[in-house]
Amino acid sequence: MLRGPKGTDDILPPESRVWRSLLRLWEDWSERFGYDLTLTPLFEFTEVFARGVGESTDVVQKQMYTFSDKKGRSLTLRPEGTASIVRAYIQAGSPGELKVSYSGAMFRYEQPQAGRRRQFYQVGVEYLGADSAASDAEVIELGYRFLTEARVPGLVVQLNSLGDAQCRPAYLETLKAWLAERQDQLCADSQAAMELNPMRVLDCKVCRDVVADAPVPADFLCDACRGHYAQVRSYLRARNVPFTETPRLVRGLDYYTRTAFEYVATSLDAAQNAVGGGGRYDGLAQVLGGPQTPGVGLALGMDRILLARDSEADEVALDAFVVAQPVARERGLALVSDLRVARVRCDATSGDRSFKAQMKVAQRSFAKYVVMVDESNVVNIRLLSGGQDDIQVDFQEVAAWLIAHQ
Protein backbone atom coordinates (compact mmCIF):
# COMPACT_ATOMS: atom_id res chain seq x y z
CA MET A 1 0.00 0.00 0.00
CA LEU A 2 1.25 3.49 -0.84
CA ARG A 3 1.20 5.85 2.13
CA GLY A 4 1.43 9.63 2.40
CA PRO A 5 4.89 10.95 3.36
CA LYS A 6 5.84 11.12 7.06
CA GLY A 7 4.58 14.27 8.76
CA THR A 8 1.72 14.87 6.31
CA ASP A 9 -1.98 14.29 6.91
CA ASP A 10 -5.06 13.45 4.90
CA ILE A 11 -7.98 15.45 6.22
CA LEU A 12 -11.09 13.45 5.40
CA PRO A 13 -14.74 13.77 6.51
CA PRO A 14 -15.99 14.04 9.16
CA GLU A 15 -12.85 15.80 10.51
CA SER A 16 -12.68 17.95 7.37
CA ARG A 17 -16.07 19.46 8.24
CA VAL A 18 -14.56 21.16 11.24
CA TRP A 19 -11.74 22.44 9.00
CA ARG A 20 -14.22 23.86 6.55
CA SER A 21 -16.17 25.67 9.23
CA LEU A 22 -12.98 27.06 10.82
CA LEU A 23 -11.63 28.24 7.47
CA ARG A 24 -14.95 29.98 6.86
CA LEU A 25 -14.74 31.57 10.28
CA TRP A 26 -11.26 32.82 9.43
CA GLU A 27 -12.44 34.26 6.10
CA ASP A 28 -15.24 35.99 7.96
CA TRP A 29 -13.08 37.55 10.69
CA SER A 30 -10.20 38.59 8.41
CA GLU A 31 -12.65 40.19 5.97
CA ARG A 32 -14.43 41.96 8.82
CA PHE A 33 -11.09 43.52 9.83
CA GLY A 34 -10.48 44.71 6.26
CA TYR A 35 -7.88 42.22 5.05
CA ASP A 36 -8.03 41.33 1.33
CA LEU A 37 -7.20 37.85 0.12
CA THR A 38 -3.71 37.36 -1.29
CA LEU A 39 -2.30 34.28 -3.00
CA THR A 40 1.43 33.78 -3.49
CA PRO A 41 3.33 30.75 -4.88
CA LEU A 42 3.91 27.65 -2.77
CA PHE A 43 7.59 27.87 -3.74
CA GLU A 44 10.01 30.78 -4.00
CA PHE A 45 13.65 31.27 -4.82
CA THR A 46 15.48 29.95 -1.76
CA GLU A 47 16.99 33.38 -1.19
CA VAL A 48 13.59 34.83 -0.21
CA PHE A 49 13.51 32.67 2.90
CA ALA A 50 17.26 32.48 3.50
CA ARG A 51 17.41 36.28 3.68
CA GLY A 52 13.89 36.97 4.95
CA VAL A 53 13.51 34.39 7.69
CA GLY A 54 17.23 34.60 8.51
CA GLU A 55 20.27 32.38 7.86
CA SER A 56 20.78 31.65 11.54
CA THR A 57 17.27 30.32 12.22
CA ASP A 58 16.39 26.64 12.62
CA VAL A 59 13.87 27.06 9.83
CA VAL A 60 16.56 28.04 7.31
CA GLN A 61 19.38 25.89 8.66
CA LYS A 62 17.49 22.65 9.19
CA GLN A 63 13.91 22.71 8.03
CA MET A 64 13.60 23.86 4.44
CA TYR A 65 12.43 21.70 1.56
CA THR A 66 14.95 22.98 -0.98
CA PHE A 67 15.42 21.57 -4.47
CA SER A 68 16.90 22.52 -7.84
CA ASP A 69 14.60 22.90 -10.84
CA LYS A 70 15.51 21.68 -14.31
CA LYS A 71 17.58 24.80 -14.93
CA GLY A 72 19.51 24.34 -11.70
CA ARG A 73 17.85 27.20 -9.82
CA SER A 74 17.45 26.73 -6.07
CA LEU A 75 13.80 26.77 -5.02
CA THR A 76 12.20 26.17 -1.62
CA LEU A 77 8.69 25.15 -0.56
CA ARG A 78 7.47 27.98 1.62
CA PRO A 79 8.10 27.35 5.34
CA GLU A 80 5.96 30.40 6.21
CA GLY A 81 4.03 33.18 4.48
CA THR A 82 5.47 36.51 5.56
CA ALA A 83 8.67 36.60 3.47
CA SER A 84 6.69 35.65 0.32
CA ILE A 85 4.11 38.35 0.91
CA VAL A 86 6.73 41.03 1.47
CA ARG A 87 8.55 39.82 -1.69
CA ALA A 88 5.24 40.11 -3.62
CA TYR A 89 4.61 43.59 -2.15
CA ILE A 90 8.02 44.85 -3.27
CA GLN A 91 7.57 43.24 -6.71
CA ALA A 92 4.23 45.08 -7.04
CA GLY A 93 6.05 48.39 -6.52
CA SER A 94 5.54 48.74 -2.74
CA PRO A 95 1.98 50.08 -3.03
CA GLY A 96 1.72 52.01 0.27
CA GLU A 97 -0.55 50.62 2.97
CA LEU A 98 -1.74 47.11 2.22
CA LYS A 99 -3.74 44.70 4.38
CA VAL A 100 -3.73 41.11 3.19
CA SER A 101 -4.87 37.75 4.49
CA TYR A 102 -3.76 34.32 3.37
CA SER A 103 -4.23 30.67 4.16
CA GLY A 104 -2.57 27.52 2.97
CA ALA A 105 -0.03 24.78 3.42
CA MET A 106 3.48 25.51 4.73
CA PHE A 107 6.38 23.05 4.75
CA ARG A 108 9.05 22.49 7.38
CA TYR A 109 11.26 19.44 7.74
CA GLU A 110 10.60 18.81 11.44
CA GLN A 111 10.62 15.76 13.65
CA PRO A 112 6.91 14.95 13.27
CA GLN A 113 4.65 14.58 16.28
CA ALA A 114 1.18 15.74 17.25
CA GLY A 115 0.94 19.43 16.32
CA ARG A 116 4.36 19.42 14.61
CA ARG A 117 3.94 18.41 11.00
CA ARG A 118 6.07 18.60 7.86
CA GLN A 119 3.14 19.96 5.90
CA PHE A 120 0.91 22.12 8.06
CA TYR A 121 -1.73 24.72 7.45
CA GLN A 122 -1.55 28.38 8.43
CA VAL A 123 -4.00 31.26 8.21
CA GLY A 124 -2.55 34.73 8.61
CA VAL A 125 -2.55 38.42 7.86
CA GLU A 126 0.11 40.99 7.04
CA TYR A 127 -0.44 44.72 7.54
CA LEU A 128 2.20 46.47 5.40
CA GLY A 129 3.14 50.13 5.35
CA ALA A 130 1.75 50.82 8.83
CA ASP A 131 4.04 51.73 11.72
CA SER A 132 1.63 52.80 14.44
CA ALA A 133 1.01 50.77 17.59
CA ALA A 134 -2.69 50.70 16.62
CA SER A 135 -1.86 48.35 13.74
CA ASP A 136 -0.06 45.95 16.10
CA ALA A 137 -3.09 45.98 18.40
CA GLU A 138 -5.47 45.40 15.49
CA VAL A 139 -3.55 42.34 14.28
CA ILE A 140 -3.34 40.91 17.81
CA GLU A 141 -7.05 41.52 18.32
CA LEU A 142 -7.98 39.78 15.07
CA GLY A 143 -6.19 36.58 16.12
CA TYR A 144 -7.70 36.77 19.57
CA ARG A 145 -11.27 37.22 18.28
CA PHE A 146 -10.92 34.38 15.80
CA LEU A 147 -9.39 31.95 18.31
CA THR A 148 -12.02 32.84 20.89
CA GLU A 149 -14.89 32.16 18.50
CA ALA A 150 -13.08 28.99 17.36
CA ARG A 151 -13.37 27.91 21.02
CA VAL A 152 -9.69 27.28 21.71
CA PRO A 153 -9.65 26.43 25.44
CA GLY A 154 -7.19 28.05 27.83
CA LEU A 155 -6.19 30.77 25.37
CA VAL A 156 -3.49 33.21 26.53
CA VAL A 157 -2.02 36.08 24.49
CA GLN A 158 1.68 36.46 25.34
CA LEU A 159 3.23 39.81 24.50
CA ASN A 160 6.75 41.18 24.40
CA SER A 161 8.89 43.81 22.72
CA LEU A 162 12.21 42.82 21.14
CA GLY A 163 13.52 46.33 20.46
CA ASP A 164 14.82 47.56 17.12
CA ALA A 165 18.04 48.33 15.24
CA GLN A 166 18.66 51.19 17.71
CA CYS A 167 18.52 49.32 20.97
CA ARG A 168 18.88 45.63 20.16
CA PRO A 169 22.65 45.58 19.48
CA ALA A 170 23.46 46.73 23.01
CA TYR A 171 21.06 44.16 24.42
CA LEU A 172 22.59 41.36 22.35
CA GLU A 173 26.10 42.29 23.47
CA THR A 174 25.03 42.20 27.11
CA LEU A 175 23.21 38.89 26.63
CA LYS A 176 26.17 37.31 24.82
CA ALA A 177 28.54 38.33 27.60
CA TRP A 178 26.10 37.00 30.22
CA LEU A 179 25.76 33.69 28.36
CA ALA A 180 29.52 33.40 27.80
CA GLU A 181 30.04 33.38 31.57
CA ARG A 182 27.69 30.39 31.83
CA GLN A 183 28.66 28.65 28.61
CA ASP A 184 29.56 25.33 30.25
CA GLN A 185 26.08 25.10 31.81
CA LEU A 186 24.31 25.45 28.43
CA CYS A 187 23.17 22.56 26.23
CA ALA A 188 24.96 21.90 22.92
CA ASP A 189 22.21 23.60 20.86
CA SER A 190 22.32 26.72 23.00
CA GLN A 191 26.10 26.86 22.83
CA ALA A 192 25.82 26.75 19.05
CA ALA A 193 23.10 29.45 19.03
CA MET A 194 24.96 31.74 21.45
CA GLU A 195 27.03 33.64 18.91
CA LEU A 196 24.66 33.83 15.93
CA ASN A 197 21.28 33.98 17.59
CA PRO A 198 21.69 34.45 21.35
CA MET A 199 18.01 35.34 21.94
CA ARG A 200 17.06 31.76 20.98
CA VAL A 201 18.78 30.57 24.15
CA LEU A 202 16.06 32.28 26.21
CA ASP A 203 13.59 29.93 24.53
CA CYS A 204 15.53 26.72 25.14
CA LYS A 205 13.52 24.23 27.21
CA VAL A 206 16.67 22.43 28.39
CA CYS A 207 18.44 25.59 29.60
CA ARG A 208 15.40 27.14 31.23
CA ASP A 209 16.85 27.18 34.74
CA VAL A 210 20.26 28.48 33.65
CA VAL A 211 18.75 31.45 31.81
CA ALA A 212 16.04 32.22 34.38
CA ASP A 213 17.86 35.44 35.40
CA ALA A 214 19.27 36.35 31.98
CA PRO A 215 18.83 39.96 30.83
CA VAL A 216 15.66 40.40 28.75
CA PRO A 217 15.02 42.71 25.77
CA ALA A 218 12.41 44.80 27.59
CA ASP A 219 15.08 46.14 29.98
CA PHE A 220 17.10 47.56 27.08
CA LEU A 221 14.42 49.27 24.97
CA CYS A 222 15.19 52.74 23.60
CA ASP A 223 12.65 55.48 24.27
CA ALA A 224 10.91 55.03 20.91
CA CYS A 225 10.51 51.27 21.40
CA ARG A 226 9.42 51.68 25.01
CA GLY A 227 6.79 54.22 23.91
CA HIS A 228 5.56 51.95 21.11
CA TYR A 229 5.26 49.00 23.49
CA ALA A 230 3.31 51.07 26.02
CA GLN A 231 0.92 52.17 23.29
CA VAL A 232 0.36 48.63 22.06
CA ARG A 233 -0.60 47.61 25.60
CA SER A 234 -2.91 50.54 26.05
CA TYR A 235 -4.63 49.94 22.66
CA LEU A 236 -5.10 46.29 23.59
CA ARG A 237 -6.72 47.28 26.88
CA ALA A 238 -9.00 49.69 25.03
CA ARG A 239 -10.00 46.84 22.71
CA ASN A 240 -10.64 44.49 25.63
CA VAL A 241 -8.00 42.03 24.53
CA PRO A 242 -6.41 40.38 27.59
CA PHE A 243 -2.66 39.72 27.38
CA THR A 244 0.23 38.58 29.53
CA GLU A 245 3.52 40.42 29.32
CA THR A 246 6.11 37.71 28.70
CA PRO A 247 9.65 39.18 28.86
CA ARG A 248 11.24 35.90 27.84
CA LEU A 249 9.15 35.48 24.69
CA VAL A 250 11.36 35.39 21.60
CA ARG A 251 10.37 34.12 18.18
CA GLY A 252 11.98 31.52 15.93
CA LEU A 253 12.24 33.84 12.91
CA ASP A 254 14.82 36.62 12.57
CA TYR A 255 12.77 39.45 11.10
CA TYR A 256 11.01 40.72 14.20
CA THR A 257 11.42 44.23 15.58
CA ARG A 258 9.56 45.67 18.56
CA THR A 259 6.27 43.80 19.10
CA ALA A 260 6.30 40.00 19.30
CA PHE A 261 3.38 37.88 20.46
CA GLU A 262 2.11 34.34 20.67
CA TYR A 263 -1.28 32.76 21.24
CA VAL A 264 -0.83 29.87 23.62
CA ALA A 265 -3.40 27.14 24.26
CA THR A 266 -2.56 26.09 27.79
CA SER A 267 -4.58 22.90 27.21
CA LEU A 268 -1.90 21.60 24.81
CA ASP A 269 1.48 19.98 25.52
CA ALA A 270 4.00 22.71 26.32
CA ALA A 271 6.24 21.86 23.33
CA GLN A 272 3.47 22.52 20.81
CA ASN A 273 1.13 24.86 22.63
CA ALA A 274 1.64 27.95 20.46
CA VAL A 275 -1.43 27.99 18.24
CA GLY A 276 -0.17 31.14 16.56
CA GLY A 277 2.27 33.97 16.66
CA GLY A 278 3.48 37.07 14.96
CA GLY A 279 4.89 40.51 15.39
CA ARG A 280 6.32 43.59 13.76
CA TYR A 281 9.05 43.37 11.11
CA ASP A 282 10.07 46.90 10.12
CA GLY A 283 13.37 45.78 8.58
CA LEU A 284 12.18 42.87 6.44
CA ALA A 285 11.38 44.73 3.21
CA GLN A 286 14.89 46.20 3.13
CA VAL A 287 16.47 42.82 3.77
CA LEU A 288 14.59 41.58 0.69
CA GLY A 289 15.91 44.46 -1.41
CA GLY A 290 12.93 46.82 -1.19
CA PRO A 291 12.43 50.26 0.30
CA GLN A 292 12.12 50.54 4.08
CA THR A 293 8.52 49.48 4.85
CA PRO A 294 7.08 48.84 8.29
CA GLY A 295 4.86 45.82 8.72
CA VAL A 296 3.13 43.66 11.29
CA GLY A 297 1.35 40.33 10.97
CA LEU A 298 0.38 37.02 12.43
CA ALA A 299 -0.01 33.39 11.48
CA LEU A 300 -2.14 30.79 13.22
CA GLY A 301 -1.53 27.05 12.97
CA MET A 302 -4.75 25.32 12.00
CA ASP A 303 -3.47 21.84 12.86
CA ARG A 304 -2.78 22.93 16.44
CA ILE A 305 -6.06 24.83 16.73
CA LEU A 306 -7.89 21.64 15.79
CA LEU A 307 -5.89 19.66 18.37
CA ALA A 308 -6.56 22.20 21.10
CA ARG A 309 -10.29 22.30 20.43
CA ASP A 310 -10.69 18.56 20.92
CA SER A 311 -13.72 19.12 18.76
CA GLU A 312 -16.61 16.83 18.25
CA ALA A 313 -16.57 15.87 14.57
CA ASP A 314 -20.33 15.74 14.29
CA GLU A 315 -20.87 19.29 13.14
CA VAL A 316 -23.94 19.50 10.94
CA ALA A 317 -22.79 19.28 7.33
CA LEU A 318 -26.21 19.48 5.63
CA ASP A 319 -29.44 21.27 6.42
CA ALA A 320 -31.53 18.49 4.95
CA PHE A 321 -31.36 15.01 3.51
CA VAL A 322 -34.25 14.23 1.17
CA VAL A 323 -35.65 10.70 1.04
CA ALA A 324 -38.47 9.79 -1.33
CA GLN A 325 -40.86 6.91 -1.77
CA PRO A 326 -39.78 5.11 -4.98
CA VAL A 327 -42.91 6.36 -6.79
CA ALA A 328 -42.00 9.98 -5.91
CA ARG A 329 -38.31 9.70 -6.78
CA GLU A 330 -38.32 12.36 -9.49
CA ARG A 331 -40.23 14.79 -7.28
CA GLY A 332 -37.70 14.17 -4.55
CA LEU A 333 -34.73 14.92 -6.80
CA ALA A 334 -36.47 18.02 -8.19
CA LEU A 335 -36.93 19.21 -4.61
CA VAL A 336 -33.23 18.65 -3.91
CA SER A 337 -32.41 20.80 -6.94
CA ASP A 338 -34.80 23.59 -5.85
CA LEU A 339 -33.45 23.56 -2.30
CA ARG A 340 -29.85 23.86 -3.48
CA VAL A 341 -30.75 26.83 -5.68
CA ALA A 342 -32.45 28.36 -2.62
CA ARG A 343 -29.09 28.04 -0.74
CA VAL A 344 -30.14 25.12 1.43
CA ARG A 345 -27.35 22.57 1.91
CA CYS A 346 -28.97 19.28 0.99
CA ASP A 347 -28.39 15.89 -0.49
CA ALA A 348 -30.10 12.61 -1.43
CA THR A 349 -28.94 9.16 -2.47
CA SER A 350 -28.05 8.92 -6.14
CA GLY A 351 -29.03 5.32 -6.93
CA ASP A 352 -32.52 3.79 -6.84
CA ARG A 353 -32.94 2.51 -3.32
CA SER A 354 -35.81 1.51 -1.09
CA PHE A 355 -37.24 4.12 1.29
CA LYS A 356 -35.71 2.22 4.21
CA ALA A 357 -32.28 2.11 2.60
CA GLN A 358 -32.45 5.86 1.89
CA MET A 359 -33.36 6.49 5.55
CA LYS A 360 -30.27 4.57 6.66
CA VAL A 361 -28.05 6.80 4.53
CA ALA A 362 -29.86 9.89 5.85
CA GLN A 363 -29.14 8.80 9.41
CA ARG A 364 -25.41 8.68 8.74
CA SER A 365 -25.40 11.93 6.78
CA PHE A 366 -24.82 14.54 9.53
CA ALA A 367 -27.85 16.41 8.20
CA LYS A 368 -30.00 18.39 10.58
CA TYR A 369 -33.34 17.32 9.09
CA VAL A 370 -34.60 14.50 6.95
CA VAL A 371 -37.30 15.52 4.48
CA MET A 372 -39.65 12.69 3.48
CA VAL A 373 -41.36 13.00 0.11
CA ASP A 374 -44.23 10.95 -1.28
CA GLU A 375 -46.94 11.70 -3.86
CA SER A 376 -48.92 14.02 -1.59
CA ASN A 377 -48.58 17.79 -1.42
CA VAL A 378 -47.19 17.72 2.09
CA VAL A 379 -43.77 16.51 3.22
CA ASN A 380 -42.78 15.20 6.64
CA ILE A 381 -39.74 16.80 8.20
CA ARG A 382 -37.89 15.08 11.05
CA LEU A 383 -35.11 16.40 13.26
CA LEU A 384 -32.44 13.75 12.84
CA SER A 385 -31.11 14.08 16.37
CA GLY A 386 -34.60 13.04 17.57
CA GLY A 387 -36.75 14.26 20.41
CA GLN A 388 -39.38 16.00 18.28
CA ASP A 389 -42.52 14.93 16.46
CA ASP A 390 -42.42 15.04 12.67
CA ILE A 391 -43.57 18.33 11.20
CA GLN A 392 -45.81 18.57 8.14
CA VAL A 393 -44.87 21.28 5.68
CA ASP A 394 -46.39 22.20 2.30
CA PHE A 395 -44.26 21.02 -0.61
CA GLN A 396 -43.92 24.63 -1.86
CA GLU A 397 -42.86 25.87 1.59
CA VAL A 398 -40.02 23.43 2.31
CA ALA A 399 -37.17 25.75 1.31
CA ALA A 400 -38.51 28.68 3.33
CA TRP A 401 -39.13 26.42 6.34
CA LEU A 402 -35.61 24.93 6.24
CA ILE A 403 -34.01 28.35 5.90
CA ALA A 404 -35.99 29.61 8.89
CA HIS A 405 -34.91 26.55 10.91
CA GLN A 406 -31.20 26.35 9.88
Nearest approach, Cβ of 394 to ligand HAM (angstroms)?
50
Nearest approach, Cβ of 62 to ligand HAM (angstroms)?
12
Nearest approach, Cβ of 297 to ligand HAM (angstroms)?
3
Round to whole Å and give the CA distance between 391 and 131.
58
Q: What is the DSSP string of 309-356?
A: HT--S----EEEEEEE-GGGHHHHHHHHHHHHHTT--EE--SS---HH
Which is closer to ligand HAM, CB of 116 or CB of 239? 116
Cβ(366)–Cβ(18) under 8 Å?
A: no
Cβ(181)–Cβ(157) under 8 Å?
A: no
Which is closer to ligand HAM, CB of 78 or CB of 382? 78
Residues forming the site for ligand HAM (CB under 6 A): 80-82, 108, 110, 115-117, 120, 122, 124, 126, 252-253, 274-279, 281, 297-299, 301, 303-304
Nearest approach, Cβ of 296 to ligand HAM (angstroms)?
7
Which is closer to ligand HAM, CB of 253 or CB of 361? 253
Packing angle of the helix pair 133-149, 223-238 (nearest 10 deg) = 40
Which is closer to ligand HAM, CB of 158 or CB of 174? 158
Of all residues in the shown chain, the one whose CB is closest to ligand HAM is: 301
Nearest approach, Cβ of 305 to ligand HAM (angstroms)?
8
Nearest approach, Cβ of 107 to ligand HAM (angstroms)?
9
Q: What is the DSSP string of 37-98?
A: E----SEEEHHHHHHHT-TTSHHHHH---EEE-TT--EEEE-S-SHHHHHHHHHHTT--SSE
Cβ(168)–Cβ(217) under 8 Å?
A: yes
Which is closer to ligand HAM, CB of 219 or CB of 310? 310
Which is closer to ligand HAM, CB of 22 or CB of 186? 22
